[in-house]
Chains A and B, each alone.
Chain A
Amino acid sequence: MNQWKNFSKGFIKENPVFVLLLGMCPTLGVTSSAINGLGMGLATTFVLVMSNIVVSLIKKQIPDKVRIPSFIVIIATFVTIVELVMEAYIPSLFKSLGLFIPLIVVNCIVLGRAEAFASKNNLVSSIVDGFGIGFGFSFALVLLGGIRELLGSGKLFSITIYPENYVTLLFVLAPGAFIVLGYLIAIINRLKKD
């Protein structure tokens, strides 16, 4: 497969959030601001790339029946590494993402790529796939977080765009996540048709 296609499919064609509808829990939970979305997206990207690398390297050694437990252990290891490193060096981001970091372990995107892609493809393709899907996920989270932050608190990346008196608070709350996501999926579907 063409590596560029392999990379770019994560943005629109196979975007994990807008098209595959995977990883909805962190998507809806952390996107109350653009910066949270970006942090979550990049953390997930790191885990995706690393687990794809390891899984594609050892895929031949793993007996079929224990492949899922092995993949989960590998993914959980990288998630814990991300968590520890983030707590040590970026404590502010760690504080705002909190509970959602350990939840990357059960994010279907990561296991999904390990199972559906990395365990069947070679190392280079797996790395490219990890970056593609990871950046696609980050892109979706930043878009969602940005729109919600802008509508709900009048800011973008914590920079005030318009005064707080005119905001619709609903958008930073849980219902806002569903509403914005719904509209974004509708728009993406429309774009994909053309």
Chain B
Amino acid sequence: MAGRDSNFRNMVITLFLVTFVAAAALGLVYEFTKEPIKLAKLKAQSEAIEKVLPSFEQLGETYKVAAENGKDTIEIFPAFRGNELVGCAVKTFTNNGYGGFISIMAGIDNSGNFSGYEVLEHAETPGLGSKMNEWFKSEEKNGQSVIGKNPESTSFEVSKDGGDIDAITASTITSRAFLDAMRRAYKAYEEQDDLNTGSAGQ
């Protein structure tokens, strides 16, 4: 390789130029993709909300609730048809998955039961824990669905731990994490509900 002389000046100039051009190129691409990335994320989110709730016309103001670890936030999206509240979508999470973080959009209807859920983000084992997006909606076995249930009337623990929900076969850790996220969603929803009725009463 017939490169230029490796003296100090040449090296500094080369590295400066290479990094400068790289930074400029990245800045340009970042500016170009900023909007599409934001739109793609919003689109994924609103699609998930539509899937988990009964049909609605528009979304109300988003509430943010700080999670108990003080780091993450749970977002609540109330959905209305006309002026009537049809339910809330709750973006919840857990850090206890087999692959760590799991993010779930859970829908809670007016009667306080889960009307649906969509897993937004997860790193569970393909073929095992990754089944959670179908498993807890399926009525195949009696105890496996969470739809139409809520943590107050049903114990949201896997049946192995004495609860009422059947875990995914061979994925107890994922199932526990999933139910943890759903409980967290319900708790946030309840707290928000109390706050709302409280302020309305005054």
Contact = CB atoms under 8 A, between A and B. Distances in A.
A69 B15 contact: yes
Contact of A73 (B5, B19, B33, B127): B19
A173 B10 contact: no
A70 interface: yes
A67 B3 contact: yes
Nearest to A64: B3
A71 to B, nearest CB: 9
Contacts of A153: 126-127
Contacts of A60: 2-4
A88 B34 CA distance: 8
Interface stretch (A3-11, A18-26, A40-48, A79-87): A79-87
SS class of chain A's interface: helix, strand, loop or mixed? helix
Interface stretch (B22-30, B56-64, B147-155, B188-196): B22-30
A32 B22 CA distance: 33
Given A63-B5, A66-B15, A172 B37 contact: no
Contacts of B6: 63-66
A123 B129 CA distance: 47
A61 B14 contact: yes
B121 interface: yes
B200 interface: no
A87 B43 CA distance: 13
A20 to B, nearest CB: 21
Contacts of B40: 87-89, 91
A77 B14 contact: no
B10 A63 contact: yes
A169 B4 CA distance: 55
B2 to A, nearest CB: 6
A51 to B, nearest CB: 11
Contacts of A66: 6, 11, 14-15
Contact of A62 (B3, B19, B128): B3
Nearest to B44: A91
A85 B127 CA distance: 29
22 contacts: A59-B1, A62-B3, A62-B18, A63-B5, A63-B6, A65-B6, A66-B15, A70-B14, A70-B15, A73-B19, A76-B22, A77-B22, A77-B26, A81-B25, A81-B26, A85-B33, A89-B36, A91-B44, A152-B126, A153-B126, A172-B125, A172-B127
Interface of B: 1-7, 10-11, 14-15, 18-19, 22, 25-26, 29-30, 33, 36-37, 40-41, 44, 121, 123, 125-128
Given A63-B5, A64-B3, 19 more contacts: A32-B127, A62-B3, A63-B3, A64-B1, A64-B6, A69-B15, A70-B14, A73-B18, A73-B19, A74-B22, A76-B22, A88-B36, A88-B37, A89-B36, A91-B44, A119-B1, A153-B126, A169-B127, A173-B125
